[in-house]
A and B are shown apart, each in its own frame.
Chain A
Amino acid sequence: MRLPRSFLFTLLLGVGLLLVWFMEARMSSYFLMVAGFVGINIILAVSLNITNGFTGLFSLGHPAFMAVGGYVTAILTFPAMRKAMFLPDLPAWLAGLELPFLPALLFGGAMAVIVALFVGVPVLRLKGHYLAVATIGFLIIVQVLLKNMEGWTRGPLGLSGLPAITNLWWIALFVLTCIVTAWRIKFSSFGRRLQAVRENEMAAKCIGMNLFLTRIQALCVGAFFAGVAGGLWAHLITVITPNSFSLVMAFTIVVMVVVGGSGSITGSVLGATVVTLLTEVFRPMEEQLGLYGMSEVLMSLVLLLILILRPRGLFGTDEPIFLLPDEYRGTWKAKGMKKK
């Protein structure tokens, strides 16, 4: 029996919402925080997948967009009185501004997109490893700027005491938005353009695609969600510092994408969940046995196993067959894959 896709999607949505409601109502604040981070990592992994997986741009600058989005959101939600005390150099119109969460988040995402445009123009001319290194450079530039613009960002001390307004509902909202956006992109002509750029740039150029425009668009979409994720992150931990968003985080997100399968949205969701939960699952063991650092060692082991035994990642570039749109099912048949 093949259920209609719309029914399956509605079912998944319903289950998801029920899960969120259940967790918010019953579980401890620790559980909620971990679940919150799972959600934020899903947003990060899926948005990185749009840039890296669909388009093949190996960008390590995602944490920089998070930092931009996080700081902008934090500055906008900061109570006006504290702004005057902590951030003396803010221009008057900004210092008096105090926005509710949603506009602040969206603004943070928008700023991340603007930064992506600035960065994309010079950097996206590069390819492969050069692009990766250039994005690392961008990440460091953002960090140094944040550390030194003390009047605006409070420098290395960062902003603390942010209102803890992130909860599972906000995160669920953006997880949903991100996944839906990624899904719609993947199975649209825009998505096919992105994948064409990934597969063979020369051929894409030959059929008249504007490479540069396509790549910039991919970077900006990824940057928007990274910025929003940064804002959510900042208000979950209630602290944001320039060192929060480091190269280590960039690689962690890449790991999530690789584990799940570069190019697969379901894979990114799963990869983010597995990687986030793995570190928490081993924590009680660490504490009881006093073997601190165990969880990182074990995670490296898992990653090694996956890279050796299944380098494509859990899902490769595919989605679960029963969720694919009809016109794609035909291709599976043509490839000789078993029908579910």
Chain B
Amino acid sequence: MRMITRCLVALALFLVLAVPAGAEETIKLAGMFNLTGGMSSIDAPALNGAKLAAKLINEQGGVLGKKLEVIGYDTKTDQKACATAAQKAVSDGAVAGLGYGDTTFVNAAAPAFINANLPFVTSGATHPELPKWHGEYFFMVPFGDDDQSFAIADYAANQLGVKNVVVWTDNSMDFTKALSKFFKQRIEELGVNMIYEDFFMMGDKNFSAQIARLKNANPEADAVFIASIPNEAGLTTKQIRESGLDLPIISADGFDTELLVTVPGKKLANDIYFSSHTYREDTRPEVLNFIEEYNKEYGRDPENAFAPLGFDAVGLLADAMERAGSTDGPKLRDALAATRGYEAVTGEISYTRPSRVPVKAVSIISVKNGEYKVEQIWMPEI
């Protein structure tokens, strides 16, 4: 038994030491992602996007004369691993960190970079108070939850003419609770009546109770706003439509998923509206180019909006490095803060607001009979 343990340990050490330490003279970016575990369907495409961006940039000659390297750190959907991997990334000489699609993991990993005066750019976490919590070295690539909730609220009130709405909130995630909070805030300002708020949890499979209450809503509901993540998007839509209700279903970027159409089927996936990153069904040249390159590199279409977001995070950092003329932490940070009108795949990024949440366009996307279509582009006020 002891011999076997010794052999295993020896093998492990051998593998660790024998594998080459990595290329010299590259600019290292730490891609912090949950490549295994519950968040992997969101984070893995983001890392793919990030690595694709690095590859394309290197083909054009790299940044500041050096090759860009995105090292993926798998943090296994576990906060402890986030903190450890972040420390490792800093020790490995990364000049900046990027990644994640969810606030919880960003909060665990970002401090290691921030404390070392290295910028952290989140590709997918959307809570608008993130830059405030983490300080000057923190930047967001996507818009904030407040913007996307305001966008869909405006569309519902102005375009769909919704006067009475029911709100369903996933009570187990901070992302969905933030969406609801901002949505409710906006509809109150617009004079739309929220009949009542209903709750469910991530992982719920049966929504018959909520649907029964929805049917009996008094006054009758013009629409139902569902704050959920992709898993529940398809299920709720399917069950609502199957119960005979055909009122508009509205949501935010949690509904930006193939599951919305594949789970209910094309016929039932009807009269759905959600706000999301300006990417799906968009015809801008950056988007088309990205989809083409992604297909060339990985042999399939980008899985979800997080792929271009990861791509944009690297692109943004590279652009800032060129403008700063260096990879030094504070200088890079200043260049990032000065970003104006960077043409990202997911929209134009400018950090003009003091909250350092980018002023980005939001797409309102409709699903009619299983077909996605961009109905409107909404811009935040500032």
Asked whether A29 lies within 8 Å of B79 as measured between CB atoms, the reply is no
Asked whether B84 lies within 8 Å of A158 as measured between CB atoms, the reply is no
Asked whether B177 lies within 8 Å of A155 as measured between CB atoms, the reply is yes
Which residues from chain A contact B13 at a C-beta distance below 8 Å?
281
- Let me know if B22 is at the binding interface, CB within 8 A: yes
Cα distance A298–B11 in the bound complex, in angstroms: 12
Asked whether B76 lies within 8 Å of A238 as measured between CB atoms, the reply is no
- Given A156-B173, A236-B83, A293-B74, verify A29-B107 contact (CB < 8 Å): no
Which residues from chain A contact B111 at a C-beta distance below 8 Å?
161, 164, 238-239
- Let me know if A176 is at the binding interface, CB within 8 A: no
In chain A, positions 243-275 with a C-beta closer than 8 Å to chain B are 243-244, 248
Contact of B91 among A29, A236, A285 (CB under 8 A): A29
Asked whether A237 lies within 8 Å of B79 as measured between CB atoms, the reply is yes
Asked whether A147 lies within 8 Å of B171 as measured between CB atoms, the reply is yes
- Let me know if B382 is at the binding interface, CB within 8 A: no
Q: Nearest-CB distance from A50 to chain B (Å)?
A: 23
Contact of A280 among B15, B84, B107, B115 (CB under 8 A): B84
Cα distance A282–B13 in the bound complex, in angstroms: 9
- Let me know if B88 is at the binding interface, CB within 8 A: yes
Interface residues on A, range: 35 or more
Asked whether A292 lies within 8 Å of B104 as measured between CB atoms, the reply is no
Cα distance A93–B108 in the bound complex, in angstroms: 29
Closest to A161 in B: B133
Asked whether B87 lies within 8 Å of A29 as measured between CB atoms, the reply is yes
Which residues from chain A contact B84 at a C-beta distance below 8 Å?
30, 33-34, 37, 280
Interface residues on B, range: 35 or more
Contact of B4 among A164, A238, A309 (CB under 8 A): A309
- Let me know if A148 is at the binding interface, CB within 8 A: yes
Cα distance A240–B355 in the bound complex, in angstroms: 24
- Let me know if A302 is at the binding interface, CB within 8 A: yes
Which residues from chain A contact B36 at a C-beta distance below 8 Å?
292-293, 296
- Let me know if A28 is at the binding interface, CB within 8 A: yes
Contact of B174 among A31, A148, A156, A278 (CB under 8 A): A156
Contact of A37 among B80, B172, B177 (CB under 8 A): B80
Asked whether A238 lies within 8 Å of B87 as measured between CB atoms, the reply is no
- Let me know if A287 is at the binding interface, CB within 8 A: yes
Asked whether A148 lies within 8 Å of B171 as measured between CB atoms, the reply is yes
Interface bits A288-309 vs B (CB < 8 Å: 1, else 0): 1110110010100010010001
Asked whether B83 lies within 8 Å of A238 as measured between CB atoms, the reply is yes
Cα distance A34–B108 in the bound complex, in angstroms: 15
Contact of B88 among A233, A283, A288 (CB under 8 A): A283
Cα distance A160–B74 in the bound complex, in angstroms: 21
Interface bits A15-58 vs B (CB < 8 Å: 1, else 0): 00000000000001111111001000000000000000000000
Closest to A31 in B: B91
Closest to B44 in A: A292
Cα distance A280–B91 in the bound complex, in angstroms: 14
Closest to B199 in A: A148
Which residues from chain A contact B12 at a C-beta distance below 8 Å?
278, 281-282, 298
Asked whether B80 lies within 8 Å of A30 as measured between CB atoms, the reply is no
- Let me know if B209 is at the binding interface, CB within 8 A: no
Q: Nearest-CB distance from A162 to chain B (Å)?
A: 9
Q: Nearest-CB distance from A70 to chain B (Å)?
A: 11
Interface bits B67-101 vs A (CB < 8 Å: 1, else 0): 00001111010111111110110110000000000
Asked whether A30 lies within 8 Å of B90 as measured between CB atoms, the reply is yes
Asked whether A287 lies within 8 Å of B8 as measured between CB atoms, the reply is no
Cα distance A252–B301 in the bound complex, in angstroms: 37
Asked whether B174 lies within 8 Å of A155 as measured between CB atoms, the reply is yes
Interface bits B166-205 vs A (CB < 8 Å: 1, else 0): 0000011110010000000000000000000000000000
**DSSP majority for the B interface?**
helix
- Let me know if A205 is at the binding interface, CB within 8 A: no
Cα distance A233–B111 in the bound complex, in angstroms: 15
Closest to B74 in A: A292
Which residues from chain A contact B82 at a C-beta distance below 8 Å?
237
Which residues from chain A contact B35 at a C-beta distance below 8 Å?
292-293
Which residues from chain A contact B80 at a C-beta distance below 8 Å?
37, 233, 237, 244
- Let me know if B244 is at the binding interface, CB within 8 A: no
Q: Nearest-CB distance from A160 to chain B (Å)?
A: 4
Closest to A238 in B: B111
Asked whether A160 lies within 8 Å of B133 as measured between CB atoms, the reply is yes
Which residues from chain B contact A33 at a C-beta distance below 8 Å?
83-84, 87
Cα distance A302–B88 in the bound complex, in angstroms: 24
Asked whether A285 lies within 8 Å of B4 as measured between CB atoms, the reply is no
- Let me know if A286 is at the binding interface, CB within 8 A: yes
Which residues from chain A contact B4 at a C-beta distance below 8 Å?
305, 309
Asked whether B15 lies within 8 Å of A29 as measured between CB atoms, the reply is no
In chain B, positions 39-75 with a C-beta closer than 8 Å to chain A are 71-74
Closest to B72 in A: A287
Q: Nearest-CB distance from A150 to chain B (Å)?
A: 9
Q: Nearest-CB distance from B84 to chain A (Å)?
A: 5
- Given A160-B133, A310-B1, verify A284-B16 contact (CB < 8 Å): yes
Closest to B81 in A: A279
Q: Nearest-CB distance from A185 to chain B (Å)?
A: 28
- Let me know if A157 is at the binding interface, CB within 8 A: yes
- Given A160-B133, A237-B83, A302-B8, verify A288-B91 contact (CB < 8 Å): no
Asked whether A285 lies within 8 Å of B16 as measured between CB atoms, the reply is yes
Asked whether B88 lies within 8 Å of A157 as measured between CB atoms, the reply is no
- Let me know if B285 is at the binding interface, CB within 8 A: no
Cα distance A177–B380 in the bound complex, in angstroms: 56
Asked whether B16 lies within 8 Å of A286 as measured between CB atoms, the reply is no
Cα distance A34–B86 in the bound complex, in angstroms: 11
Which residues from chain A contact B177 at a C-beta distance below 8 Å?
155-157
Q: Nearest-CB distance from B253 to chain A (Å)?
A: 18
Cα distance A31–B92 in the bound complex, in angstroms: 11
List 23 interface pairs A-B (beta carbons < 8 Å), by A numbering.
A30-B90, A33-B83, A33-B84, A33-B87, A156-B171, A156-B177, A160-B107, A161-B133, A164-B111, A237-B108, A239-B104, A239-B107, A239-B111, A244-B79, A280-B84, A282-B16, A287-B71, A287-B72, A288-B20, A289-B19, A293-B36, A296-B36, A305-B8
Taking Cβ atoms with an 8 Å cutoff, the residues of A that contact B are 28-34, 37, 147-148, 155-158, 160-161, 164, 233, 236-239, 241, 243-244, 248, 278-290, 292-293, 296, 298, 302, 305, 309-310
Q: 10 tightest A-B contacts by CB?
A: A157-B174, A30-B87, A30-B91, A160-B107, A292-B74, A292-B35, A237-B83, A30-B88, A293-B36, A28-B91
Given contacts A278-B12, A285-B19, A309-B1, 9 further A-B contacts (CB under 8 A): A34-B84, A157-B104, A239-B79, A284-B19, A287-B72, A289-B19, A296-B36, A302-B8, A305-B4
